[in-house]
Amino acid sequence: MIPVYVIISLIILFIIWMLIGLWAMNKAIRRKKERTLEEVEKDTSTAWYKFRDQIHHGIDFINSLPKKTLTTVSHDGLTLYADLFEHENAKATILMFHGYRSSGPNDFSCATEFYYSLGFNLLIVDQRSHGRSDGKYIGFGALERLDCQKWAEEIHTLYGKELPIIITGVSMGASTVLMASSLPLPENTVAILADCGFTSPKDIISHVIRWAYHIPPAIIFPAMNFWARILAKYSFDAISTCESVKKSSLPVLFLHGLDDDFVPAHMSKSTFECSKSKKEIVLVEKACHGESYLVEPERCQNALKKFLNECFEDFNYDVRV
């Protein structure tokens, strides 16, 4: 017979373990006050610090454009916001999904002027639990993929099938759009552009636990996942980008920096290998997380234009960029 003190000790340890899991889950996905761009750029430890001049230029360009604010309601009742920047001679509309605890103007600051110069309408989305959009918990793409589908439907309703749709994302936004690729999307969706996405919520959380805290993920991940299912209504291991792209026929262009230690480049490589559709991958030397376009802008721009022109042709759109 097990002594009572052993049983009590085990119960106490279990409670402590569950409380640590709750704390870790909240740290990972609960919404918190967002840092301003000024606060981010003063942090010299961030990869963005050395590119602050380019980022400011890009944000100034975004702010110079007239915009419309759009809203939609998610599948679970959240009000979601996005800014629409219309091009007077639009060739396509590009939907832009930012990364984890970031924003569209920050993550797409340096690419937005390029996309606009190609003749694209720009839809810069506030992901759930970010910016103006409602939400208490971040979904690591598992929830946001359905928001992506909703925004694509909104743009299809607004412009019709004559104007092609491109969907792009950075980091968590890349995983969002890759997971959304397997969902029913408007027939005029011609391409997915995914910059430094991860393979699944479970994989990226496990990687960060190991990378940032130097402990085996198996120690804390099960408790975190329990609380995510109870409070955030999704499981970290319920979906993956790899399984999603296997079910998708949409063309995908992958980008990733080879010096990325936050989301390792092998995650994009794995998803690329899983993809069954038309696909290309651009791997950039000396680029950290989200830096590919910043480190080699000309190479990335040329790859994007070539890929998109092929996609327009494949989908029988008389459009060239």
Position 102 pLDDT exceeds 70: yes
Distance CA 311, CA 249 (A): 12
Pairing of strands 68-73, 79-85: antiparallel
The per-residue pLDDT for 171 is: 97
For 43-200+239-314, the fitting CATH number among 3.40.50.720, 3.10.20.340, 3.40.50.1820, 3.40.390.10 is 3.40.50.1820
Distance CA 177, CA 199 (A): 12
Distance CA 213, CA 216 (A): 9
The per-residue pLDDT for 161 is: 94
Q: Average pLDDT for residues 217-231, to the nearest whole number?
A: 96
Distance CA 299, CA 305 (A): 10
Give the residue among 94, 104, 168, 106 at the shortest CA–CA distance from 132: 104
Q: Kindly state the tokens that stand for 2.
A: 């097990």
- What are the strands of the beta sheet with 189-195, ordered from one edge? 68-73, 79-85, 120-126, 92-97, 165-170, 189-195, 252-257, 279-284
Give me the percent of the chain exceeding a pLDDT of 70.
98
Q: Kindly state the tokens that stand for 218.
A: 């198996």
Position 39 pLDDT exceeds 90: no
| Chain segment 232-265, per-residue pLDDT in tens | 999 999 999 999 999 999 999 999 999 999 999 9
Q: Are 186 and 156 in contact (CB under 8 A)?
A: yes
Q: What average pLDDT is seen over the chain?
A: 94
The per-residue pLDDT for 275 is: 95
Of 53-57, 74-78, 83-87, 298-302, the one with minimum mean pLDDT is 53-57
The per-residue pLDDT for 212 is: 86
| Chain segment 131-162, per-residue pLDDT in tens | 999 999 999 999 999 999 999 999 999 999 99
H-only helix segments in 160-248 = 172-180, 201-213, 221-227, 241-246
Position 37 pLDDT exceeds 80: no
Distance CA 239, CA 320 (A): 35
The per-residue pLDDT for 47 is: 64
Position 168 pLDDT exceeds 90: yes
255: Cβ contacts below 8 Å, ≥ 6 apart? 193, 194, 195, 196, 268, 281, 282, 283, 284, 292, 293, 300, 303
Position 38 pLDDT exceeds 80: no
| Chain segment 184-201, per-residue pLDDT in tens | 999 999 999 999 999 999
Domain limits of the chain?
1-30+214-233, 43-200+239-314
DSSP for residue 215 = S
